[in-house]
Amino acid sequence: MMMNQMLRYGSLAFGVAALAATVALRAQDAPGGGPTAVEVSGEGKEVYEQICQACHMADAKGGGGAGAVIPALAGNPRLADKDYPTVILLKGRGGMPWFSDILTPEQMAAVLTYVRGHFNDYQDPVTVADIERVTTASPPVPDCNCTQ
């Protein structure tokens, strides 16, 4: 259940500390309580629910209207190539933030495996090695094709 996840705390994850540092650098209006104890799960489904669902929705069908689209991740042919979502997760694109600062390579691999396997039928897993390979190769971010 969502509530239980919210109330489950653990040690200060590396990712959370890194995020705090970037927030300070941004000097944006911020709550000021310091890093929270909120921990993101290591399990793909839960990463999806705790992070991606905020924009892509629980059913992964996305939202918004023309010209202001959160693309669907469900039934998305662009995810057939596993490097496509990987580079977007690592580098962000437009309104899609990069998650290299709040998710570990393990969490990124897990959530991409879940998104590709559960909301689509691409069963080959995304591995930590994939994340590292794409991080090193650092290909350009593919353009948004959000209307298709």
Give contact residues for ligand FAD (rule: CB under 6 A). 29, 67
95 binds ligand HEC (CB under 6 A): yes
DSSP per residue over 51-82, as a string?
IIHHHH-TTS--EEETTEEE---TT-GGGGST
60 binds ligand HEC (CB under 6 A): no
Q: What one-letter code names the amino acid at 7?
A: L
From the CA atom positions of the chain, what is the Rg in Å?
16
Q: Name which of 44 and 122 has its Cβ closer to other proteins.
A: 44
Confirm if 86 and 130 have CB atoms less than 8 A apart.
yes
Our CA dihedral for 63, 64, 69, 70, rounded to 10 degrees, sits at -30
Q: Single out the residue of 15, 44, 56, 87 in contact with ligand HEC (rule: CB under 6 A).
A: 56
Which of other proteins, ligand FAD, ligand HEC, none is residue 110 near (CB under 5 to 8 Å by kind)?
none
Tell me how far apart the alpha carbons of residues 111 and 43 are, in angstroms, rounded to a whole number.
7
Q: Name which of 98 and 128 has its Cβ closer to other proteins.
A: 98
Q: Name which of 67 and 140 has its Cβ closer to ligand FAD.
A: 67
Where do contacts with ligand HEC occur on this chain (CB under 6 A)?
51-52, 54-56, 70-71, 73, 76, 78, 85, 88-89, 93-97, 99, 111, 115, 144-146
